[in-house]
Structure 1
Amino acid sequence: MIPFNYVLMCLIFGTTFLAIKVGIDAGVSPFFSAGVRFFLAGAILFIVMVIQKKARLSLLLRKEMMLTGLGLTFGVFASLYWAEQYVSSGIAAVLSATAPLMIMLLQTGITRQKMSASSWAGCLVGFAGVVILLVPGMTVAFSGIWAAGCVAVLLGQVFYSAGTVYSRRVIRRFSDTSPIALNAAQMLYGGLMLLLLSLFTEQVHMEAMLVPEAVFSLLYLIVFGSMTGHTIFYWLVAKTNPVFPSTWLYISPLIALSLGVVLYGEPLSLLSLAGGVTIIAGILLINLKSLRQLAGARSHLVERS
């Protein structure tokens, strides 16, 4: 069951970038679409958690839920949805894979701990991958709005890294509450913030939301991207450990890159492909110690069985 759910999670997370792109190209308002997605997904999951008595309504009154939603949902997806108006879903996915790099740098800055040689090497390799990935668009046919889109995705990962580091404290503080309920609460707040942003920055055309492509995109992202994918992730954390489920970051961006080219006809240069692979290699180097520990733990389990 664990291998099946892991593969399913990687496929789901790998397809969400293309699903966002399909909705954006159908004419939906980026912030409004993102807000509806996360508000509805968070509301449905939270109601289920309350019914199952795994969460209390008072959880929504805690400022920690709002702050986590600001980092993990609002900051990340406001940037991503806006950026996918101008960059391909594959490029957005690969740039999003820089999150572990930023998380490590942020944790190092906070704790003042020294990074290992492999971590420093991973940072340099990952940064080189970003440069290689961006070179074709910057030199062959420079577009200021394309570059801004790429920067926006990277900015979103800064929000994600801060939200991730903070959410780890929140999970420890609310250890008696299901992580799925905590995630649902932060999605509710993040979705509400996105809707407020849309209210002040966008002119929403509701007819665009009723286009078949837009409806499919929204339903897929609510049911699979936000509800199913994250539920599987937390299930895997409970059944294995925090490291193993996070390895989706090495697989899903390449799935997204491939799907964008094959199913949506997105352009892909050899340099962009090389940049994507280089970024993933950098992330692997950064997490080399954790991955070795994970491999050792799994081999130990095999020997015991």
Structure 2
Amino acid sequence: MFQIVTDSCCDLPYQVLEEYQVAFIPMIVEMDGKEYFDDLGKSFDYGAFIQSLRDKKQPTTSQINVGRYVEFFKPYCEKQESVLYLCFTSGMSGSYNSALQAVAILQEDYPNAQIEVVDTLNASLGEGVLVYGAAKRQAAGDDLPTVRKWVEDHRLKVQSWVTVDDLSHLYRGGRLSRSQAAMGGLLNIKPIIHVDAKGSLQNVGKVRGRNKALQKIVDETMENLTSTEDQLVFVAHSEDLAAAEKVLEMLKEKIDVTDSAIYPLGPTIASHTGLGCIAIFTFGKERVD
């Protein structure tokens, strides 16, 4: 038996993780000078967070440091329980390297400890679909090496297609210049973003208008599928459930969706995208860029 662990950047609700007995370590979100643990909806005040975005505030996030990882993993070492940690992409955070350092520290005192850290190279429900798939395989009886191999074989097959409605957060996060954000707002420009092979966000296009942006991320999702049969589709949104439902229905009209879910975008990612972000996650062609 082994324990699957992830972090709150997977954006799966805590109820789903509890169902599959997946443990998680929360990220930290700072609002109005106070720090809060993102515990995937268990106690985090998501309504207050959303209001802060409506008020044009800029919540900040911080990576998980070495000390918090040591504290989190230590009980598993003491129980001699094996751990498979599926981590938020190293392309957007230093948490992965912090986790590796923590494991090295713990193995000085617990040389037989088995804590395996996997860089998912994905974020939000891109990370989430890997955690979900890993948990289902564990529940079916697969051992740790088999589950780890499945994750490593599929992490670059996760397709993530994203559009953002509010350019001000991309400007504040350094992904757009002030002039780009201002001009984009005037012209109703919506960026098209995906996660590359290094697990980093890349602006790969732009269209004018919200409806065209939603259609574009659906088209890109379709273009990068390897099959239209037996598909899993997860959709994340930040306060635009109607748009999330719309893109899922658009996909269901074209492909055989056998497993799907719509979940709110977690505060760690939404702090950088603002309100109105829509993201589609599927398995498809391997990312090579």
TM-score normalised per structure 1: 0.24
Higher relative contact order (CA 8 A, sep 6+): 1
TM-score normalised per structure 2: 0.25
Greater share of helix:
1
